[in-house]
């Protein structure tokens, strides 16, 4: 069958062939979904479950290795004459929900705290200790907060709010 000239509509035979090809492809997709759904579900469950299991075991091991630690060891990581003890307590309490934290703990790598959660925690801590978060760019620690200790130093550099 010769090709239809450009600009002319396709004939009924051409539309029948196109419709048959499209229906055949749709049938193949439906058959794959119907017969292959359970392996896909298994793969999805493994992709989600295995990392969760590994993380929970890591957290349990870390908690066991820090079983004797407390806020006292955390506070000794700082010069208590230069750092407000309320900052030390508030930061420790905010992040010690899984196990006792250390000043050297990195937020993402050790605690699993991402930037958004860290921002939320920063707002909560600043409110609890009465520190302003205005003009944070002027704080020399602004872009250097990687560890829990860095956060303590960052908050120490923020001005106190007026007591009302």
**What rounded mean pLDDT belongs to the chain?**
88
Per residue in 51-78, pLDDT (tens digit) is 899 989 998 999 999 999 999 999 999 9
Residues, the chain:
164
How far is the CA of 5 from the CAs of 1, 14, 137, in angstroms? 12, 13, 67
Evaluate if pTM is beyond 0.75. no
One-character DSSP codes across 124-152: HHHHHHTB--TTGGGSTTTT---BHHHHH
Predicted pLDDT at 74 = 95
Predicted pLDDT at 80 = 83
Per residue in 23-59, pLDDT (tens digit) is 999 988 888 777 777 777 788 888 888 989 998 999 8
């Amino acid at each position: 069958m010769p090709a239809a000239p450009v600009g002319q509509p396709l004939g009924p035979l051409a539309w029948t062939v196109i419709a048959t090809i499209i229906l055949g492809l749709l049938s193949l997709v439906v058959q794959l979904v119907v017969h292959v759904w359970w392996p896909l579900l298994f793969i999805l469950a493994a992709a989600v479950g295995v990392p969760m299991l590994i993380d929970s075991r890591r957290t349990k091991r870390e908690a066991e290795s820090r079983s004797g630690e407390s806020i006292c060891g955390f506070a000794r990581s700082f010069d208590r004459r230069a750092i407000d003890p309320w900052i030390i307590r508030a930061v420790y309490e905010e992040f010690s929900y899984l196990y006792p934290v250390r000043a050297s703990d990195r937020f993402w790598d050790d605690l699993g705290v991402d930037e958004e959660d860290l921002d939320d925690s920063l707002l909560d801590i600043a409110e609890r200790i009465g520190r302003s978060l205005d003009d944070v760019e002027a704080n020399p620690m602004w872009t250097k907060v990687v560890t829990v200790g860095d956060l303590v130093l960052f908050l120490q550099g923020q001005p106190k709010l007026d007591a009302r």
